């Protein structure tokens, strides 16, 4: 068995691999960039080695730095996790050439399965069903146009070396082909350094079902049943589950059998996933699924397979990489119950799923993390900072149930009691997906989220209203020290009135909680006190920032104000003044970078700079005084 392991990744997958390492007594070493110096995976590792700047190309995508880190730490093996270099055949070879163990399939296998046209040719030879299309070497426009007419519209253009939804274009009719082809080739060359494309018949209501396979160096290969990953947004998975809903046993046997055939055909070693596209407009049948691609790594959604098979797939990876045989034979692998995973991301669904970054004020759930039906796979905790340099996924919520309905009910309930404050989050969006009739009935497909529009991405007004009422209750219930500050609403000649002013965004109003009712089916609001005048309130997974208007400060601001404050957490990238400078109203005094945007901060009035409170390059919290002014 491997005795020491470097994890060439970050976030929740690094923490998850470490957990298995601790069980097996394997010394684990983390790597980190400048952006991750205080990250959770660094804190939890036995050791950690710095590998470069925040940019992934200068750290997590720099194979030479990672191998050097392994050598420096005296490590025996490297586990790539997923993403970054996990499917890079050149990096796998470099690891082996350095005398280290590569926890993954052989480089030649990664290479052959990484090219979509070659992978489909291998699948066809192995007797695995493949969609009609064109995968030839000729890439001239005339050939591609002829092949497109043969296949028929609509069709997809796909980058041969593609992955992660990149280099894919939908062509609905012949007139669109030339423009979409040019766009796909350009993106493929930029993303993968390979502009070759292939054409494929479009399945208009596709489901995405994949099979977990495992092989060892002794010629054995097994499957661990299927997962359904059809709930997607812009070709990125949102919620995954195992097994696939509505899967007949004969189709399961055929699909899983085809996946094992493919694994055997390439002498597969380690964890892999064979992905199939399924015609969602029809019931699952033997003629409704086709090979899509093979992922030569551990998948993000592997926990749902572990939950329904009682396995530890990372342990299997480490044992296979150590030269051992597979831990179980096919007949020993049983399917029990149903599991669903939701990807928690720092992104704002209401703003086009814009990714967010910054300080996490509160992150956690009320559910018992030790419950045997629950897994919480998180790469961040309260007090951590989400960097803007990487993928927005920060955690995964995984639940299990005796059947699909039970598992989904548990998912919905747990999401309602999950809190993320400080950065934007998609928890409410995930909950609305899980509560939708199409998902409950298992009739959703890959394009379903796009078809729903704002019904899923926008938080309901009732959640915002409940959050506001929760803050009003707190404010009106505050204890006071002086008798004239007692908040009992007393009036000498009229009935008592209990009102308080609160604001959400630009909208401020006076509220009397006794005059309003919150719907009975609304989840209990979870309130985080961010400052004396700011509250983060989560209702049904949706977090609202509720503020208490400072009318004195607003009056001062109308008169000009004496300070320029940081409007949000961020980095100071320019300071244009110094103490003693005379400034005019509207003049840019400093510039901040936050949420991947630059924010120019202007003087609120004419005056003289009394003090500059920050240095260039400083990370500042929201509200910090950057520049103070005095009268001339």
Q: Which residues does the annotation mark as catalytic? A: 297
Percent helix, strand and coil across the chain, each rounded to 5? 30, 30, 40
Measured in degrees and rounded to the nearest 5, phi and psi for residue 413 equal -70, -40
Report the alpha-carbon distance of residue 626 to residue 335 in Å, rounded: 59
The helix (H) or strand (E) run that includes residue 151 is helix 141-151
User: Residue 544 pairs with which residues in a beta bridge?
Assistant: 537
| 200: nearest Cα among 303, 113, 306, 116 | 116
Report the alpha-carbon distance of residue 592 to residue 432 in Å, rounded: 35
Contact 210, 246 (CB under 8 A): no
With both helix axes pointing from N to C terminus, report the angle between 427-435 and 404-416 in degrees, rounded to the nearest 10.
150
Measured in degrees and rounded to the nearest 5, phi and psi for residue 570 equal 180, -170
| 530: nearest Cα among 548, 517, 542, 551 | 548
| 475: nearest Cα among 548, 524, 526 | 548
Tokens of 21: 């390492």
Report the alpha-carbon distance of residue 405 to residue 402 in Å, rounded: 8
Contact 197, 182 (CB under 8 A): no
| Residue tagged 């500042």 (tokens) | 620
- 118-156 burial, b at 16+ Cβ within 10 Å, e below that, comes to ebbebbeebebbbbebbbeeeeeeeebeebbeebebebb
- 580-609 burial, b at 16+ Cβ within 10 Å, e below that, comes to eeebeeeeebbbbbbbeeeeebebbbebeb
């Amino acid at each position: 068995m491997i005795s020491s392991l470097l994890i060439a990744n970050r976030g929740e997958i690094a923490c998850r691999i470490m957990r298995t390492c601790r069980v097996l007594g394997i010394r684990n070493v983390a790597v980190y960039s400048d952006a991750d110096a205080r990250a959770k995976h660094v804190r939890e590792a036995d050791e950690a080695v710095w590998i470069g700047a925040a940019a992934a190309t200068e750290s997590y995508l720099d194979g030479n730095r990672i191998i050097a880190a392994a050598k420096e730490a005296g490590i025996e093996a490297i586990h790539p996790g997923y993403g970054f270099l996990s499917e890079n055949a050149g990096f796998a070879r470099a690891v082996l050439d350095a005398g280290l163990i590569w926890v993954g399939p052989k480089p030649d296998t990664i290479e052959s399965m990484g090219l979509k046209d070659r992978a489909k040719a291998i699948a066809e030879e192995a007797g695995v069903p493949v969609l009609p299309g064109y995968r030839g070497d000729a890439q001239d426009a005339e050939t591609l146009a002829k092949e497109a007419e043969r296949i028929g519209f609509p069709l997809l253009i796909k980058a041969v070396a593609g992955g992660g939804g990149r280099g894919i274009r939908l062509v609905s009719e012949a007139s669109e082909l030339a423009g979409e082809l040019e766009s796909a080739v350009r993106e493929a060359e930029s993303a993968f350094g390979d502009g070759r494309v292939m054409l494929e018949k479009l399945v208009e209501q596709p489901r995405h079902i994949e099979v977990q396979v495992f092989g060892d160096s002794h010629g054995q290969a097994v499957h661990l049943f299927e997962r359904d990953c059809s709930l997607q947004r812009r070709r990125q998975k949102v919620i995954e589950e195992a097994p696939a809903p509505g899967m007949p046993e004969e189709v399961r046997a055929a699909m899983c059998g085809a996946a094992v055939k493919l694994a055997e055909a390439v002498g597969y070693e380690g964890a892999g996933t064979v992905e199939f596209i399924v015609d969602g407009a029809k019931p699952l049948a033997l003629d409704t699924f086709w090979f899509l691609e093979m992922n030569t790594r551990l998948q993000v959604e592997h926990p749902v397979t572990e939950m329904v098979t009682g396995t530890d797939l990372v342990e299997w990876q480490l044992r296979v990489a150590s030269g051992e045989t597979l831990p179980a034979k096919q007949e020993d692998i049983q399917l029990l119950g149903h599991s669903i995973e939701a990807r928690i991301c720092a992104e704002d669904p209401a703003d086009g799923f814009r990714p967010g970054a910054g300080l996490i004020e509160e992150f956690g759930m009320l559910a018992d993390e030790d419950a045997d039906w629950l897994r919480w796979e998180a790469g961040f905790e309260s007090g951590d900072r989400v960097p803007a340099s990487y993928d927005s996924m920060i955690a995964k919520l995984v639940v299990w149930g005796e059947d699909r309905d039970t598992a989904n009910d548990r998912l919905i309930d747990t999401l309602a009691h999950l809190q993320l404050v400080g950065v934007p989050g998609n928890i409410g969006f995930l909950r609305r997906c899980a509560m939708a009739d199409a998902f409950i009935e298992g009739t959703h497909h890959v394009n379903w989220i796009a078809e729903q529009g704002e019904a899923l991405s926008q938080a309901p007004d009732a959640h915002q209203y409940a959050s506001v009422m929760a803050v009003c209750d707190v404010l009106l219930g505050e204890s006071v020290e002086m008798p004239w500050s007692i908040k009992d609403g007393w009036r000498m000649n009229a009935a008592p009135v209990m009102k308080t002013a609160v604001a959400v965004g630009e909208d401020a109003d006076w509220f009397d909680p006794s005059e309003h009712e919150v719907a009975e089916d609304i989840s209990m609001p979870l309130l985080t006190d961010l400052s004396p005048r700011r509250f983060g309130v989560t209702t049904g997974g949706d977090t609202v920032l509720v503020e208490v208007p400072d009318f004195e400060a607003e009056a001062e601001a109308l008169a000009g104000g004496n300070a320029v404050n940081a409007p949000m957490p961020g980095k100071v990238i320019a300071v244009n003044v110094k103490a003693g400078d005379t400034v005019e109203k509207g003049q840019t005094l400093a510039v901040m970078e936050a949420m991947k945007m630059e924010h120019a901060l202007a003087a609120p009035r004419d005056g003289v700079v009394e003090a500059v409170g920050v240095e260039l390059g400083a990370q500042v919290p929201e509200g910090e005084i950057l520049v103070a002014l005095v009268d001339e």
